């Protein structure tokens, strides 16, 4: 009878992580942070920011507020395209909900437990 393979016998490539950066009006930050969390994001932080564009530029772009929030989220690479696409849809449909979002690849993490938390991977996977 053949022995059952263990998790050590079948190597699984780890999922790559990305930093998702989202800049939105400050009064919409909580909404967007909750929305981003639905893409299996376990770690987020939000920071207050202030836009530097002139009034003329803001008017040209259709923006009204200069008080912004920057949301930093760690997301798996395979979930990032769906999150970016969904954010784009929200930016177009939410009143005063315009923003920008982009990702930056992360090159490494230290520790298996930290990686599992950030990638939303259970210990038995």
Q: What value does the mean pLDDT of the chain take?
A: 84
Question: From CA 57, how far away is CA 75, in angstroms rounded?
Answer: 32
pLDDT tens figures, 36-70: 999 999 899 999 988 777 778 777 766 666 788 99
pLDDT tens figures, 94-109: 888 889 999 999 887 7
**Tokens coding 31:** 């909404």
Question: What residues are paired with 75 via a beta bridge?
Answer: 18
Question: What residues are paired with 74 via a beta bridge?
Answer: 19, 43
| pLDDT of 89 | 95
Question: From CA 83, how far away is CA 75, in angstroms rounded?
Answer: 9
Mean pLDDT across 84-103: 92
Angle at 113 between CA 122 and CA 75, to 5 degrees: 70
What sign does the dihedral 30-36-38-44 (CA atoms) show?
Answer: negative
User: The whole model's pTM is what?
Assistant: 0.76
In the chain, helix, strand, coil percent, each to 5?
A: 35, 25, 40
Contact residues for 82 (Cβ-Cβ < 8 A; gap 6+): 39
- For residues 102 and 1, which has the higher predicted lDDT (pLDDT)? 102
% of the chain surpassing 90 pLDDT: 47
- Are 105 and 65 in contact by the 8 Å Cβ rule? The answer is no
**Tokens coding 36:** 């981003």
């Amino acid at each position: 009878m053949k022995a059952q393979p263990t998790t050590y016998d079948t190597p699984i490539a780890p999922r790559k992580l990305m930093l998702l950066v989202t800049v939105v009006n400050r009064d919409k930050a909580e909404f967007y942070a909750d929305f981003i969390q639905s893409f299996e994001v376990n770690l987020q932080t939000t920071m207050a920011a202030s836009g530097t564009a002139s009034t003329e530029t803001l008017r040209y772009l259709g923006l009204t507020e200069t008080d912004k929030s920057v949301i930093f989220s760690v997301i798996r690479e395979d979930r990032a395209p769906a999150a970016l696409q969904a954010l784009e849809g929200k930016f177009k449909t939410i009143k005063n909900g315009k923003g920008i979002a982009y990702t930056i690849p992360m090159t490494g993490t230290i520790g298996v437990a930290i990686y599992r938390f950030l990638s939303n991977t259970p210990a038995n996977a």
